[in-house]
């Protein structure tokens, strides 16, 4: 097989793997009951899946996030307009902090690489509070 065809086949395989990984991400908007400042959601992640939650908040508010139910699940908090987790909110099971900007925050739940590689499933409950 000519070299360029091998590279083309490799590129197509990698693109398919990336699309598959993106398909394994669920996104759910977190809703608070009228007058409430807290909410909880139960879920699960399997293998390399990611569960993503969005939550609207304003700069200066304090957000608390706590993950319970599994020793094999962590979360990252991502500020509006950013692609990476906030510096002090990476691979956490509990986090509280003052929010730097208005907008929709994303909280991504995932498993550590070792558990994901073994295809394990982590069931959890994630608790959100905005003050």
CATH of the domain at 95: 2.60.120.380
Q: Is residue 11 part of a domain?
A: no
Q: What is the pLDDT of residues 36-47, one digit of tens each?
A: 999 999 999 999
Mean predicted confidence (pLDDT) in 104-118: 96
pLDDT (tens digit, 9 = 90+) per residue, 26-77?
A: 789 998 889 999 999 999 999 999 999 999 999 999 999 999 999 999 999 9
Q: Provide CB contacts within 8 A for 44, sequence distance 6+.
A: 51, 121, 122, 123, 124
The answer to whether residue 61 sits within a structural domain is yes
CA dihedral (73, 82, 104, 123) in degrees, to 10, reads: -10
Structural domain includes residue 71:
yes
- Give backbone dihedrals phi and psi of 9, rounded to 5 degrees, phi first: -65, -40
- Number of independent structural domains in the chain: 1
Segments forming the whole domain that contains residue 96? 25-130
The 3-state DSSP composition of the chain as helix, strand, coil percent (nearest 5) reads: 20, 45, 35
Sheet of 74-78: strand order equals 25-29, 50-57, 103-110, 74-78
Q: Give this prediction's pTM.
A: 0.79
Q: Quick one: pLDDT band at residue 116, thresholds 50, 70, 90?
A: very high
DSSP label of 32: P
């Amino acid at each position: 097989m000519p070299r360029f065809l091998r590279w083309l086949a490799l590129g197509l395989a990698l693109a398919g793997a990336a699309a598959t990984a993106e398909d394994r991400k669920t996104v759910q908007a977190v809703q608070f009951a009228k007058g409430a400042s807290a909410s909880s959601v139960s879920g699960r992640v399997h293998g390399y899946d990611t569960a993503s939650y969005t939550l609207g908040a304003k700069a200066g508010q304090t957000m608390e996030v706590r993950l319970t139910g599994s020793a094999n699940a962590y979360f990252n908090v991502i500020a509006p307009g950013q692609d990476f987790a906030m510096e002090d909110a990476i691979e956490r099971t509990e986090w509280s902090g003052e929010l730097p900007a208005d907008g929709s925050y994303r909280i991504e739940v995932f498993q550590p690489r070792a558990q994901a590689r073994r295809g394990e499933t982590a069931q959890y409950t994630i608790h959100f509070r905005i003050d």
